[in-house]
């Protein structure tokens, strides 16, 4: 019996594993990186797709780019618990939906073979269902535990991940929990912010947080070395540095940037999906 949300990776190098002893908590192993992406071509792509009858949003495109990145860099879909590395079974992203001032969290489950059209359809369906039925089981459970005495709530919060690690809870009981996701994505641009980093939680198993800033004008240096003013978006990545080495993480970030800047690659499924 063991975890139902991931497969234990036993081939991780000792050099990489030792960092889990130096930094046993996720919050102790955070690296931050800001990506400023020129989205001029991205905006053109979205406008052209709208003419063709596909209503794709920036948010959906970003989720699609993250999914495509995970399909090529499976290390970013890892998580660590009790010094053990796991390859997550699911490809998922948690995000917040603003319902007239009330924030609710939802989770999308994707397939690495999806193109942007399949992803966009799924995001729209989740948002539509949330508008019709804003309450869910996670919120009901939280409301129940917050009414208990603090010492009981604290004990349950500690016991819950242990039961998951030992395989004593069904996958269905925590499948929709947003802090058990490949990544959490926050659209801070909807609040008017251009840049912000989010912390990682020690509770749960999410190793990556991504913030999406508001689109704004900024000077950009072209490949020819000239200066232009263009539409840009700043992305704030917060990553558990223990899940992969610096070279792999850097390649992942640059791949994501390329997908956002040149979203034509997202119209088709990836030629191959790399799995661990």
- Tens digit of each residue's pLDDT (9 = 90 or more) over 58-107: 999 999 999 999 999 999 999 999 999 999 999 999 999 988 878 889 99
| CB-based contacts of 170-178 (< 8 A; 24+ apart in sequence) | 170/4, 171/4, 171/5, 174/5, 176/107, 176/136, 176/137, 176/138, 177/107, 177/138, 177/204, 178/94, 178/105, 178/106, 178/107, 178/138, 178/206
Pairing outcome for strands 6-8 and 84-88: antiparallel
> HSE of 152 in the Cβ direction (CA atoms, 13 Å)?
7
Q: Distance between alpha carbon 207 and the CA centroid of its chain, in Å? A: 8
The token duo for 9 is: 């990776």
CA distances from 25 to 79, 175, 192, 234 (A): 12, 22, 32, 27
Residue 137 CB coordination number (10 Å): 10
User: In b/e form, how buried is each residue of 47-66, taking b as 16+ CB within 10 angstroms?
Assistant: eebeeeeeebebbbbbbbbb
**Residue 192 banded pLDDT, cuts 50, 70, 90:** very high
Express each pLDDT in 115-139 by its tens digit.
999 999 999 999 999 888 766 656 7
Distance CA 229, CA 81 (A): 45
CATH 3.20.20.70 fits 6-136+177-267, yes or no: no
Give the lowest-confidence range in 39-53, 167-181, 199-213: 167-181
pLDDT at site 137: 58
Q: CB–CB of 257/271 below 8 Å?
A: no
Chain mean pLDDT for the chain: 93
Stated as kind and residue range, the H or E segment containing 230 is: strand 227-240
């Amino acid at each position: 019996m063991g975890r139902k949300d991931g497969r234990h990776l036993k081939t991780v190098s000792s050099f990489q594993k030792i960092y889990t002893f130096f930094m046993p908590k996720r919050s102790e192993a955070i690296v931050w990186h800001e990506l400023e992406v020129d989205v001029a071509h991205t905006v053109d792509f979205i406008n052209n797709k709208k003419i063709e009858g596909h209503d794709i949003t920036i948010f959906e495109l970003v989720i699609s780019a993250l999914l495509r990145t995970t399909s090529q860099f499976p290390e970013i879909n890892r998580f660590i618990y009790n010094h053990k590395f796991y390859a997550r079974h699911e490809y998922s992203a948690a995000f917040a939906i603003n319902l007239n001032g009330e924030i609710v969290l939802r989770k999308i489950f994707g397939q690495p073979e999806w193109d942007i059209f399949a992803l966009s359809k799924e995001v729209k369906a989740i948002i539509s269902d949330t508008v019709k039925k804003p309450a869910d089981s996670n919120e009901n459970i939280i409301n129940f535990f917050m009414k208990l005495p603090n010492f009981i709530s604290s004990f349950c919060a500690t016991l819950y991940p242990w039961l998951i690690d030992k395989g004593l809870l069904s996958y269905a009981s925590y499948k929709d929990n947003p802090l058990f996701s490949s990544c959490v994505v926050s659209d801070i641009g909807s609040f008017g912010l251009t840049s912000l980093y989010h912390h990682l939680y020690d509770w749960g198993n999410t190793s990556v947080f991504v913030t999406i800033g508001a689109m704004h004008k900024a000077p950009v240096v072209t490949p020819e070395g000239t200066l232009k003013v263009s539409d840009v978006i700043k992305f704030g990545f917060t990553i558990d540095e223990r899940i992969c080495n610096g070279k792999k993480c850097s390649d992942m970030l640059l791949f994501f940037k390329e997908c956002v800047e040149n979203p034509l690659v997202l119209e088709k499924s990836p030629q191959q999906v790399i799995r661990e």
